[in-house]
Amino acid sequence: MGSPQSGDRIRFTASTPEGSVTHEGILLAPATSGHMTVKLDNGYNVTFAETEVTDISTISTPNLSGENVITTLTENPDLPEIWIIHTGGTIASKVDYVTGAVAARFEPEELLDAIPELANHARIRTMKLGNMWSDDIRARHWNAMMRATKEAFDSGAVGVVITHGTDTMHYSAAAAAFAWAGCGGRPPGRIVFTGSQRSSDRGSTDGTENLLAAVHWAAHGPAPTGENGDASVIIMHAGSDDGSCAIMPGCSTRKFHSSKRNAFQGINAQPLGMISVDRNGECQINMDVQSPTRDVTTEPVAFDEGIRILQLVAGAHLYADQIELASNYDAILFHGSGLGHLPIEDPNGDSPENIAMREAVANYCAKGGTAVMATQCIHGPVHMDVYSKGRDQQELGIIGNHATTGPDAALVKLHFLLSSNQDVQAGWNANLCGENASSIFN
């Protein structure tokens, strides 16, 4: 077959300090000059210097036609119908063996073909919204997801699974919660977001169990109440090991770790429950179930895609001229230090920038600007009554006191309140869908 090329399946022998070893796998672009990198069948890569390779042969070449053979799964008509709405991310990615990079390229049907056990849980329909990295998602994409969920529910689906990149999945999950339950209702069915910290062709992938658990929840979970954080949920690994996935409230969860499998945790909230997944792909939901009291919402609230929110982080580099930028925005969300504080005092008489900050905030609020406080601390409430500075900030016009909404959901909630023409002060004090609970658990 000639010299092996990137993407070829090869078998080779290499010398090591412990003796010769023989491996088989996919030849990747080299990790460094003068070396050979191969992805093994267990999902891990090995790299050897070219001088260490004593024998190499090509077993097969990749299919470059762009066509994939998809197995047709037999449906069980007695199972409920759910939709998998595909946006992209690592759960839908695999290695490009020519470049060695991870690319979002799995089609929804490929997910079903790769995990045939999904057919044991539901009758599955798929919709592809894109193959986006989640860093690129904006409010227009939230709206597209909500339109897709409405289409699914209108077509008779009992639940939807939104496969999503993990980096901003908690923002989209919060958007779904507010869109469907922020005005006092509840969604017609279950909405679950899931993703993967490891690409689907790695031996350590978590995507298979996450997707199995998510599909099972969408098909067989309890009816959402809309008020305890279950209007949308995030289902991901509960720990570093396989076998258990956590059901987390979509409006009070965030990604806490860049690479661990159990990257997601609740903010001021505990998981709603757990889903065990065995080696055969069978799932079991373990949670306390509450009966819904809200009416079903038939139409989600759309986010105004023209709204712009300025996010500013309190610290040594927050200056008054940054507040002046707010004239180009609809509101400011401050990420305050501690209980929700800004640098607005100069007790030593050596930091006039702080006094300028105070004046800029006062002028902005006096002119009708909306300024909301969240805390950088992630867990715990905003409490601007404890220190005199906090009380001064309230007099300046900053709202958000006593809120337990996490900083990420706070951004989405502010966008939602502005989109739905609600009074921001009243809406911020309310607990619309579980994001602002009076009792906190972290």
How far apart are the C-alpha atoms of 280 and 413, rounded to whole Å?
Answer: 40
State the average pLDDT for the chain.
Answer: 90
Calculate helix-pair angle for 169-181, 139-154, nearest 10 degrees: 60
Calculate helix-pair angle for 407-419, 169-181, nearest 10 degrees: 40
Band of pLDDT at residue 97, cut at 50, 70 and 90: low
Residue type, 63: N
Residue type, 296: V
Backbone angles phi, psi at 216, to 5 degrees: -65, -45
Q: What is the CATH number of domain 81-287?
A: 3.40.50.1170
Mean pLDDT, rounded, for 8-33: 86
Mean pLDDT, rounded, for 26-46: 79
Same fold yes or no, 81-287 and 309-429: yes
Please list the alpha-helical segments (H only) found in 155-311. Answer: 169-181, 207-220
The string of pLDDT tens digits covering residues 273-321 is 999 999 899 999 999 999 999 999 999 999 999 999 999 999 999 999 9
How far apart are the C-alpha atoms of 259 and 129, rounded to whole Å?
Answer: 25
Q: Quickly count: other Cβ atoms within 10 Å of residue 311's Cβ.
A: 15
The string of pLDDT tens digits covering residues 390-429 is 999 999 999 999 999 999 999 999 999 999 999 999 999 9
pLDDT for residue 352: 98
Band of pLDDT at residue 130, cut at 50, 70 and 90: confident
Mean pLDDT, rounded, for 180-188: 98
Band of pLDDT at residue 67, cut at 50, 70 and 90: very low
Calculate helix-pair angle for 352-366, 388-396, nearest 10 degrees: 40
Q: Is the confidence at residue 147, as pLDDT, over 80?
A: yes
pLDDT for residue 72: 55
pLDDT for residue 438: 86
Contacts of 213 (CB under 8 A, 6+ apart): 194, 235, 245, 275, 277, 283
**Residue with more model confidence, 412 or 66:** 412
- For 267, the token pair is 């903010």
Domain boundaries, the chain: 9-60, 81-287, 309-429
**Residue with more model confidence, 187 or 106:** 187
Q: Residues 424, 417: contact at Cβ < 8 Å?
A: yes
Q: Is the confidence at residue 105, as pLDDT, over 70?
A: no
% of the chain residues with pLDDT over 70? 89
- For 359, the token pair is 């004046």
The string of pLDDT tens digits covering residues 7-20 is 788 899 998 888 88
How far apart are the C-alpha atoms of 135 and 155, rounded to whole Å?
Answer: 30
pLDDT for residue 68: 45
Q: Residues 101, 146: contact at Cβ < 8 Å?
A: no
Site of tokens 């978590």: 206
CA-based torsion, 210, 216, 221, 226: positive or negative:
positive
Mean pLDDT, rounded, for 200-221: 83
Please list the alpha-helical segments (H only) found in 93-224. Answer: 108-114, 139-154, 169-181, 207-220
**Residue with more model confidence, 148 or 101:** 148
pLDDT for residue 295: 98
pLDDT for residue 96: 60
Band of pLDDT at residue 103, cut at 50, 70 and 90: low
Q: Cα dist. 372→66, 250, 382, 395, 400 in Å?
A: 50, 21, 11, 13, 5
Band of pLDDT at residue 197, cut at 50, 70 and 90: confident
DSSP codes, 267-330:
SS---SEEEEE-TTS-EEEEE------SPBPSSPPPP-TT--EEEEE-STT--HHHHHGGGGSS
Q: Judge: domain 9-60, CATH 2.30.30.520.
A: yes
pLDDT for residue 101: 56
pLDDT for residue 320: 97
Q: Is the confidence at residue 65, as pLDDT, over 60?
A: no
Mean pLDDT, rounded, for 209-236: 96
- The class that CATH gives domain 309-429 is alpha beta
The string of pLDDT tens digits covering residues 153-174 is 999 999 999 999 899 999 999 9
Mean pLDDT, rounded, for 358-362: 97
